[in-house]
With several copies, the nearest count.
Chain A
Amino acid sequence: MFQVNFLEQYCKGCGLCVHFCPKNIIVLAQYTNDQGYNPATINDMTKCTGCALCARMCPHVVIEIVEGGAA
């Protein structure tokens, strides 16, 4: 089990994590953060494989992934 944490206030909603997640579990939220962007978020954390492709592609170091985590 992996816990994917988003430093939400840094996210610029670029959608790269959304695109590169092989499990298709990341989406951009409906609301906007303080910067005015729709931040990325995960609906179903259980599907996450911890592959970190999302983090690899994130240009704003928004994503950290820890094993075990809150799940």
Chain B
Amino acid sequence: MAKKGYMRPPTLLQKPWHFCPGCNHGIAHRLVAEVIDEMGLQNQTVGVGSVGCGVFSYEYFNFDGIGPSHGRSPAVATGVKRVLPDRLVFTYQGDGDLAAIGTTEMVHCAVRGENITIIFINNTLYGMTGGQMAPTTLMGQVTTTSPRGRGREQGLPFRVCEMLATAEGAAYVARVALFNPAQVNRAKKAIRRAFETQMAGLGFSMVEMLSACPTNWGLSPLEALKYVEEKMVPTYPLGEFKVPEGVK
């Protein structure tokens, strides 16, 4: 961000988005597009979407895209990457998609050290289906399926980065947030490092983004950002959990 001014990244098609007002999915989409453009990879990218509020990613990005079934994006990406090892292959997944139904696929991409990148949007619940509890839901958080607030019976928050970092095959693992411009810049850097990890062939990479869902949290866009900072970050500490030699 040395140069001033700002232009829409060319890999983002100019279309209205279905995201709710203040939804951080939009910021995440934009950052991914910016990094791909900056790395000059538009023509070498295959984006693998998912099912969740990010389901239309392939309609918004201006590069090849796939819409897989719910949770299986890392497996689909594996199929793509084995066929096209020189392409940038990334998945874009929500916490329900990645950390619930898609746990096996995610874990084994990390364990195999599959040379792909996961962009992981953690908004603590199932946004698209109307705000049900997810494995990432905070303790005490009210959702449509934890109407009394998440209690011990409903499990404990799933810290995905911490878990995947234990896999030898995981090369770059970071958790970032999007609640203010500085965090957004950091998030962008993490995406860049993840993609660089992949293009250098160093193995599995993932960037988790703590992300606001004003609609299902019942908060204004601004309150939602504050919620991320004050409520989510203590449960999901930010930072780089693994950085490969070649990318430091």
Contact = CB atoms under 8 A, between A and B. Distances in A.
B25 interface: yes
Given A10-B16, A13-B21, A56 B185 contact: yes
Contacts of B21: 12-14, 37, 59
Contact of B26 (A19, A35, A59, A65): A59
A56 B5 contact: no
B112 to A, nearest CB: 32
B184 interface: yes
A16 to B, nearest CB: 6
Nearest to B220: A15
A15 B17 contact: no
Given A7-B14, A14-B221, A59 B5 contact: no
B70 interface: no
Contacts of A52: 1, 4-6
Contacts of B20: 12
Nearest to A52: B6
B19 A60 contact: yes
Contact of A15 (B24, B180, B221): B221
A55 B26 CA distance: 11
Interface string A52-70: 1101111111011111000
B23 interface: yes
Contacts of A55: 6
Most chain B CB neighbours (cut-off 10 Å) among A55, A57, A65: A57
Nearest to A35: B16
Most chain A CB neighbours (cut-off 10 Å) among B6, B181, B225: B6
B211 to A, nearest CB: 10
Interface in B191-221: 214, 220-221
A57 B5 contact: no
A15 B22 contact: yes
A65 B26 CA distance: 18
A63 B30 CA distance: 12
A66 B7 CA distance: 8
A16 B7 contact: no
A9 B16 contact: yes
Given A56-B181, A56-B184, A67 B22 contact: no
Contacts of A65: 4-7
Contacts of B161: none
Q: Which 3 pairs from chain A and chain B are nearest by CB?
A: A59-B26, A14-B22, A12-B21
Interface of B: 1, 4-8, 12, 14, 16-17, 19-27, 29-30, 180-181, 184-185, 214, 220-222, 225
23 contacts: A7-B14, A9-B16, A12-B20, A12-B21, A13-B21, A15-B221, A16-B221, A19-B222, A20-B180, A20-B181, A49-B4, A52-B1, A56-B27, A56-B184, A58-B26, A59-B27, A61-B26, A61-B29, A64-B6, A64-B7, A64-B8, A65-B4, A66-B5
